[in-house]
Chain A
Amino acid sequence: MSGRLIDEVEIGELKRLLRAGITISAPPFQVRVQSDNSVLGESLKRLYGACRIDGDAQAADFVIRVGATSAIRRFVRRDVIALIDTPPPFTRLPYEMAPLMFEQALNWCVATRTFTHLVMHAAVVARDGKALIIPGESGQGKSTLCAALVSRGWRHLSDEFAMIDPETLEITAHPRPISLKNESLEAVTAWGAAPESVMEGTPKGTVGYLPPSMGAIESAGQRAMPAAILFPGYTVDSDPSITKMEKGRAFIILTACSVNYRELGEEGSKAMTRLVSRTPIYRTTYPDTASSVGLVESLGLWD
């Protein structure tokens, strides 16, 4: 690996480089970011410390500029918006929420511009090359479960997207800061994790992140095959339960979780059919994180 770890770049220098633009290696992508927002500079150091920057030696998959919506907004009622090459689908946020803006913009780029893989909204963790896919929209507990398993030594592949090779079903890791909201922030604090860049009063409530570890970034190129798909079901006061899901129903729900199923046409539906028919799929309910981890371990797929 070439380039410098962001963690080793002194904050003043990082902000100075960021003003001109830096290209961050966020496997598998190279992401160019340019911003004069100092909150973003600080959060990049904390959230992407395990990633590398390499001057202008790398071409970038995506280019994201993060800045004020107008000159006056750099001084009065300061705000922030992400700009990309096509008209941006984002709405402006207060200046301090630049980290959230950047994460949204990068997620948007990955979701709308990746057609080499079947991409679905899901967290992915793995042990021994066997991956657990945890699908779901935000708020259903996928990030919390992902964070819990990662804290217990699972490899962190992604908190947001399962990128599945349509031929081999192999999963490409895209480890990024794990995004946690509201109660899930408290849940992870309970087992000693320390969310960074916590922002209160965002459109999604309070948002914070757990940065990917050095190990997650360095192992991003390693092979992982889907071993199980598990729908998270955090429910207050429920008894922990896990049941196998009927395949036809799972197919429909997973299709709805996919961001590019329609665009991939026949290739996408073949890949989804293969994934659903080969992989055991479970539905769960659980009242807390500890019991959700217990349910995953009870599957016995990783012994």
Chain B
Amino acid sequence: MKRLLGVALGILTAIGGFVDIGDLVTNAVVGSRFGLSLAWVVVIGVLGICLFANMSGRVAAVSGRATFEVIRERMGPRAGLANLGASFLINLMTVTAEIGGIALALQLASGVSYMLWVPFALLAVWLVIWRVKFSIMENVTGLVGLSLVVFAVALFLLKPDWGALAGQAFTPSVSGEESVGAYWYYAIALFGAAMTPYEVFFFSSGAVEEGWKVKDLVQSRINVLMGFPLGGFLSIAIAACAAVVLLPAGISVTTLSEVVLPVAQAGGQLALAVLILGIVAATFGAALETTLSSGYTLAQFFGWPWGKFRRPAAASRFHVAMMVVLLAGVAVLATGVDPILVTEYSVVFSAIALPLTYLPILIVANDPQYMGKHVNGRAVNVAGLVYLVIILVASLAAIPLMIATGAGA
């Protein structure tokens, strides 16, 4: 019974933890402009993150090594450092976006400008990183984040024309008002939002934090294979809500206050309250994950002691680095830059950097020195290679498309 509870808890946290500000905003933007015609990208992205999160979790459990240690060992110092630079910058952008997301959600709840909420969000995130145990942090934010399910409930309450939605999803086409370039630009953004590299750093480091062994692999596989697809389903529900309410009304999403309109229309103030709670929890959880990820990547590259299972005094560089990252993120927000804009760029840059993260994982998962008899099977390798090609194409196409479409305008 206890075991079953553990499995349920793992799945629920994975669902709640899957959606962050990037998924929220990108899916709503896409839904309000392209309907469900990009839903297929979410499906591809979710399958990809399942594949690679599972792989990195296995590497961590078998070898006890987190992803970034392995990246440096396998790629050498130069490519490793370039990788660190890129990953770290994207992580910083994502931290900034998530803290901005917390503040924007609190503005929706209170009517007080988000700028005043930023210091509060910073302090709360840092306190949790400084003082709260890893497992509690994960479970609480994941479970509360689950209230984003209200998007799916709202979709039912809106009584949409299911046939039309399915039609958009299964026979994708670009509507007359939007350009083909923008369509593909947002396809890459959605892919980047679903496969963000920090999830892998966090997942593999989390496996070390929680001391996974080979026998825990089954549990982790269930979490990933059930939780992430359900998280992807939530993403599609976000897009569908926007497609049902905002697209016909001629509203294309540019702010978080527009993202919540369909849910308020469907479920009133109660649904709105649940939704805002969910957004705060999801962005808060993601802010924790991205901040930790930036600490993990730095510490693992340079070989510092790291991890929340150590007292801050026993991982001093790790903790100081995370404080610096949080302050840097807040400094960016203090310039008055629109957090939603930061979010939109962060998911596209994530897509650009994807090969840097996923190629080394694939290589190490095949290395018997690390993995012993737990190296990748043939089917996993074929899938991994197919995804590597997709990732590479998305990464190479991102910048030209960004220029050609004016960042999807």
A binds B: no
User: Using a CB–CB distance below 8 Å, which chain B residues touch chain A?
Assistant: none
Which residues does A use to contact B, with CB under 8 Å?
none
